[in-house]
Chain A
Amino acid sequence: MVLVLALGDLHIPHRASDLPPKFKSMLVPGKIQHIICTGNLSIKEVHDYLKTVCPDLHIARGEYDEEIRYPETKTLTIGQFKLGVCHGHQVIPWGDLDSLAMLQRQLDVDILVTGHTHQFTAYKHEAGVVINPGSATGSYSSITYDVNPSFVLMDIDGLRVVVYVYELIDGEVKVDKIDFKKTTGSNT
């Protein structure tokens, strides 16, 4: 039962000043084992804050990140799953599911976490699952202004993943979940 937080595109301080307080109150240290961040934090203070929530932090570089040394893509293994992170601005067309699927096959991961579009999506294809946690601060994107703050928490338990989607809609936190199982045997 491993809890993995996926979030990104906070754009602090340029486009937003902070995470919504309701989100902040939920992100209490000690509960989450890993954080996967799609990028565009953008400053070091946000990095430090995320470190206090969980010391195991994986970040991919977004185009506005001030820290230039984050990698473009990153892969890690948690339990039975291989996860990959990439900010997504590199994949053109932005947010195109087929192109993301290509990236996923390149990285050879079961779950690919990307951002940049600031819209939550969860998409399944033969090679695996693509999850976009959206923007945790609800900042505007290159595409649209209409953004709800959102992030994703994954509960990885053996071969099964429960994805909890947290969205701030009209000032209230709404939580949904998505279940999926990995079929045994590696995806090639």
Chain B
Amino acid sequence: MVKKGVPDWLNSSLWSSPQPPSSNDVVESHEPPASADVKSAVVESIVEPPVPLPPPSVTRPVEPPSSSVHSSTATSVKGEIRDPLSSHNGNNYGNTNFNNYNSEEENGISNNSSTTSIPSVGANTGAVVAPAASSLAEDISSQAQLLQELSRKIINMGELRRIASQGIPDGAGIRSTVWKLLLGYLPPDRALWPSELAKKRSQYMHFKEELLMNPSDITRKLENLSLENSEPDGESKGFLSRSEIIHGEHPLSLGKSSVWNQFFQDTEIIEQIDRDVKRTHPDMHFFSGDSTVAKSNQEALKNILIVFAKLNPGIRYVQGMNEILAPLFYVFKNDPSEENAVSAEADTFFCFVELLSGFRDNFVQQLDNSVVGIRATITRLSQLLKEHDEELWRHLEITTKVNPQFYAFRWITLLLTQEFNFADSLHIWDTLLSDPDGPQDTLLRVCCAMLVIVRRRLLAGDFTSNLKLLQHYPSTNISHLLYVASKM
């Protein structure tokens, strides 16, 4: 599916300026949550941005685009989740069959850019978005769906990924559990959860104890092992006895293996981590400010990053890791289950490791120029853009000479946490994490979609304005963005 020119549907006015949905149009008949196979036709209205799609890589149907009715898979009905933090309510849509979209790719959704023609239940028509009217009911139904999926004894990961890609509701700690499943922290078999959790949490405690001990305590421990109890006690007067030091360990030691020396070397990293943690999300009370909550959260973030840096001497700490860590910790800490919230730090650590494992190469400077490094990834993004929108690509890279490194670097290494507000980035992460092949591909598609969405402004701009636009990406409708991304 290589597109040479800009497809018609992209050129529709829909994409360039997504508007918040005002009036609600046709309420599409929506399927009851647990139903399976009815494919509901959906028509897109001009005012409402379309419903988000299933993750591109997962459930794209095998049939060719021009196929007509195809049955939905089970339980694909879900409304867009209303994000309470989001400013616009446009994210509530009816229960629609998302697989529908895949069949409509090339076929003029723009044809339906005028409102409310009720399409036949066929492929080549547009999609309807059931408007926000019954949104609350839909929310609850989508929540119920997820809960149902989660409550099974053995969770079907493919199914979960598909549901998750459409967005996860914010309440009832669902996101926390789903993310843990998606990142492989919790096994699909529910029965194993308690033991797994206990094991991992105690492992983290162990790491912390070992690695966060300061050298005084370490030397004291060593002493207690070797000497029994030769403490000079209670003499009231007299010269203090000098004793030997163990292994040449003293604070000014310059030896490589000296505990003290390592401690001082780590101090630099610890300072950097501290600085970055203090600067994380300064606008959020959760992370920043003088409250004890914020302080303890910062402390937790610091500990996680320090333990990670010590366990991974090859990569240590790189600025930006705190940004990737923050959403994870936020979601896990706000889990309504008391037990989970208390162990949020341990859970976040392992999920962070898992998440970062796919992206490690972005943070290693030596790999910058290699095939797996960040430059190669940016080149792939560039290629993707070229495939989908050659005109824009040409304009950006050749005419205005906006090197993708200027903007895409931050997009990619920080997984888009810096480009959107916090709530939106959680939503994007739902989609990113639900990709079974790892978030990398989806990420590139989302980035490409971001470029395509503002193409009008980019095409009209020169180097300075384009760069400014891309480095301060305008806030946009997230579901819209994800929809565009999934079509690539």
- Chain B proximity of A78: nearest CB distance (Å): 14
B284 contacts the other chain (CB 8 A): no
Q: Which of A124, A153, A177 contacts B235 (CB 8 A)?
A: A124
Report the bound CA distance from A150 to B238 in whole Å: 21
Check A177–B242 contact: CB distance below 8 A: yes
Given contacts A30-B264, A164-B251, A126 and B240 within 8 Å (CB-CB): no
Cα separation A157 to B218 with both chains bound (whole Å): 12
Q: Are B243 and A179 in contact (CB under 8 A)?
A: yes
Output the least CB separation between A50 and chain B (Å): 15
Total number of A residues with any Cβ neighbor in B under 8 Å: 29
Is residue B357 contacting chain A, with contact meaning CB distance below 8 A? no
Alpha-carbon gap, A28 to B252, bound state (A): 8
Are the CB atoms of B245 and A177 closer together than 8 Å?
yes
A 141-173 binary contact with B (CB < 8 Å = 1; else 0): 000000000000101010000111110000000
Main secondary structure on chain B at its contact with chain A? loop
Answer whether residue B395 sits at the interface, using C-beta atoms and an 8 A cutoff.
no
Q: Does A178 lie at the interface of the complex (its beta carbon under 8 Å from any beta carbon of B)?
A: yes
| Neighbour of A26 across the interface among B214, B236, B248, B254, CB < 8 A | B254
Contact A178 B240, CB 8 Å, known A26-B254, A153-B252, A164-B245 = yes
Residue of B nearest to A175 (CB): B250
Q: Is the CB of A179 within 8 A of B231?
A: yes
For the complex, is A106 an interface residue (Cβ under 8 Å from B)?
no
CB-defined contacts of A178 to chain B, threshold 8 Å: 240-243
1/0 contact string of A174-188 vs chain B (CB within 8 Å) = 011111100000000
Q: Is A25 an interface residue (CB 8 A)?
A: yes
| Chain B residues near A107 (CB-CB < 8 A) | none
Q: Given B214, B237, B238, B264, which contacts A31 in the complex, CB threshold below 8 Å?
A: B264
Residues 204-261 of B contacting A (Cβ, < 8 Å): 214-217, 219, 231-232, 235-245, 248, 250-254
CA A163 to CA B239, docked complex, whole Å: 14
Q: Name the contact of B215 in the complex, choosing from A1, A129, A175, A179 (C-beta under 8 A).
A: A1
| Cα separation A125 to B327 with both chains bound (whole Å) | 57
Contacts of B250 in A (CB 8 A): 153, 164, 166, 175, 177
Please, how many angstroms separate the alpha-carbon atoms of A173 and B236 in the complex? 31
- Which residues of chain A are within 8 angstroms of B241 by Cβ–Cβ distance? 178
Q: Which of A25, A157, A164, A177: most chain B Cβ within 10 A?
A: A177
| Contact between A175 and B238, CB atoms less than 8 A apart | no
| Docked CA distance A166–B448 (Å) | 63
Q: Mark B263-298, 1 if CB is under 8 A from A, else 0.
A: 010010000000000000000000000000000000
Give B248's nearest chain A residue, CB to CB.
A175
Are A1 and B216 also in contact (CB < 8 A) when A153-B252, A179-B231 are? yes
When distances are taken between beta carbons in the complex, the residues of chain A under 8 Å from B239 are: 121-124
B253 contact set on A, CB distance < 8 A:
26
- Judged by a CB distance under 8 angstroms, whether A19 is at the interface is no
Interface flag for A27 (CB, 8 Å): yes
Residues of B within 8 A of A28 (CB): 252, 254
A31 to B266, CA, bound (A): 12
Q: Mind listing 9 A-B residue pairs with CB under 8 Å?
A: A1-B215, A1-B216, A31-B251, A122-B242, A124-B238, A125-B237, A126-B236, A164-B252, A166-B252
A residues in contact (CB < 8 Å) with B: 1, 3, 25-28, 30-31, 121-126, 129, 153, 155, 157, 162-166, 175-180
Known: A26-B252, A164-B252. 19 other contacts (CB 8 A): A1-B216, A3-B251, A26-B253, A31-B251, A121-B239, A122-B239, A123-B238, A124-B239, A125-B236, A125-B237, A126-B237, A129-B240, A153-B252, A155-B216, A162-B216, A165-B242, A177-B242, A177-B243, A178-B240
